[in-house]
Structure 1
């Protein structure tokens, strides 16, 4: 592992980065069978320095993926179990009076970590959910008028159960928009489930025996910088802009993509290209990440077949 990230003047070795990321994907695959595409999306989200929301039923491997990402990237990890009586101070921390020094001392909460798992985020009240907004948007928290910075890298991976499950609260649009991507894992394939049944429950191993790291926090910071430096040429910008403008002009959606949503799509496509070891973005990169980036940001006016991303791809020509 590198002891420091390279300076911005150094040219990143994209082949080496792609090789390390491939090792991370294969290592996580030792615990999360046959979910390579979801793992790649999760890695792309972190490379784009974004937050990830995983929406799926209980028991399909959401927590396993979170542990795998933390282990393979060597990140400090904390888990917050969101329940109905969770308070914002349980997440952010609290100032307590130190009698010895006769002053208030801030005790940081679990948000002060490098990869934070907000488990079953939609089981907490909207007030508690909103405690994450400042941290996710500005990488800082404000307690009693005092601002505390969060060290890099800092990324949130949240899980939520489908909205029709009992005891859940819908995430507000402002919260959803803070997540660069939303993905699901789905049921395992027949072959993967057979392997799972043969091997037994590996969750205890996942929590007690950490996977071997292939990188460290400094590496992730350097890789995020490399992803941000991936070239986006004018024709590709034209394609991105056409997708964004179509989402706004199309009467099918209540609201189009915001500027933040457009930037999220660019960053995710750059990260996807980096995973392949390329120094430039292709339309295929945009198409690969589009569902994860836009489907939770666009709401249809009327129920219909297909996803928002599929509709956009069908309406916008690559050119």
Structure 2
């Protein structure tokens, strides 16, 4: 039996839904289309996670992130990753400072740009692994260590990183273990014909909208806490569980094509991502429970960086997205899912 949701949480869900609709309206002043991307970014934010956005240049990735920061009353910093960027350029460093009264010298920590609520890590794959590791450690631990001291990052805190899939020269692709730190891997596609027409009309005509702040950081934190209290049925949880387990080759649950074409599948973090993000999407849409549709809507951004095809898959042009589509076809959504018998609880 699922726990009943309180009246206060019901009201909070409705409030979050209305805020989501208003944020979409505000972003539409400067962003044409990209509704799926906007929803997936907001899902990651509500789920207290980070997102990696991949798309060719000129698709308004940077504009989307900066506009979202304006709409949510959050501090925003952009870090342009380059080959010569050092870890201290991101996290901060100790500097020697002299007291003008006593003349004594001491160390003072100078915070880096990562000390903000919303971080745009632009072209994160253009910086060496050492700097990437410092960034990803801060993302995971939500703190920075410098000079033997620990400095907490502000709350809420999330990173929206971008990378360009076209140019590979001079880049340092993120290893799979580090990609797993990102809650969602979001693909930004070209606009539709009508959207591209509207983009040209707006930009060349000087029609620049102004974003109005709609949500405070405290309200966002309350919405994030609300997501954790949203119940999920065993059926929906079981469907996500079955999909994740089926993605792993050479297991009892994996279909034949997984054993044949998948090098490795999603781990437990993939299941946690699916469940948490499904609950966040439900709240955005004004619902107090996650559904099978929420799971299916988030499968690709949640799992595309957690499932890797082998050489045979690459030879047959089978991308992670295609393998996920095949998983959906192989795992029935209407089957009855129950807690395994040897469960610890």
TM over 0.5, shorter chain: yes
In structure 1, the residue corresponding to 2:156 is in which secondary structure? Answer: coil
Q: What's the counterpart of residue 280 of structure 1?
A: 289
Call closer, same or farther: CA 1:289–1:221 in 2, change over 3 Å: same
- Between stretches 132-141 and 153-162, larger displacement belongs to 132-141
- Alpha-carbon distance, 1:174 to partner: 2.2
Distance 1:305 1:212 in 2: 43
Q: What's the counterpart of residue 19 of structure 1?
A: 18
In structure 2, the residue corresponding to 1:179 is in which secondary structure? Answer: coil
1:171-186, aligned counterparts within 5 Å?
171-186=174-189
Greater C-alpha radius of gyration = 2
Q: 1:121·1:129 contact (CA, 8 Å) conserved in 2?
A: yes
How many corresponding residue pairs?
Answer: 309
Distance 2:134 2:286 in 1: 37
1:82-161, aligned counterparts within 5 Å?
82-100=81-99, 101-161=104-164
Displacement over 4 Å in runs of 4+: 201-206
1:205-220, aligned counterparts within 5 Å?
205=208, 211-220=211-220
- Between stretches 246-255 and 215-224, larger displacement belongs to 246-255
Q: What's the counterpart of residue 40 of structure 1?
A: 39
- Alpha-carbon distance, 1:144 to partner: 2.8
Q: 2:309·2:318 contact (CA, 8 Å) conserved in 1?
A: no
In structure 2, the residue corresponding to 1:148 is in which secondary structure? Answer: strand
TM-score norm. by structure 2 comes to 0.85
Q: CA RMSD in A?
A: 2.0
Distance 1:72 1:313 in 2: 35
In structure 1, the residue corresponding to 2:21 is in which secondary structure? Answer: helix
Which structure 1 segments of 5+ residues have no match?
A: 1-7
Could you give the per-residue CA deviations for residues 66-123 of structure 1, whole angstroms, max 9, x where no partner exists?
0121111111000000011000000000011122152211110000000000011111
Q: 1:291·1:309 contact (CA, 8 Å) conserved in 2?
A: yes
Could you give the per-residue CA deviations for residues 167-187 of structure 1, whole angstroms, max 9, x where no partner exists?
221111122111101112211
Which structure 2 segments of 5+ residues have no match?
A: 1-5, 252-257, 336-345
Q: 1:163·1:170 contact (CA, 8 Å) conserved in 2?
A: no
- Alpha-carbon distance, 1:30 to partner: 1.7
In structure 2, the residue corresponding to 1:254 is in which secondary structure? Answer: strand
In structure 2, the residue corresponding to 1:170 is in which secondary structure? Answer: coil
Q: 1:61·1:185 contact (CA, 8 Å) conserved in 2?
A: no
Call closer, same or farther: CA 1:71–1:200 in 2, change over 3 Å: same
Call closer, same or farther: CA 1:24–1:212 in 2, change over 3 Å: same
- Alpha-carbon distance, 1:138 to partner: 1.2
- Alpha-carbon distance, 1:199 to partner: 1.5
Could you give the per-residue CA deviations for residues 261-291 of structure 1, whole angstroms, max 9, x where no partner exists?
2111111111111111111110000001111
Distance 1:288 1:203 in 2: 35
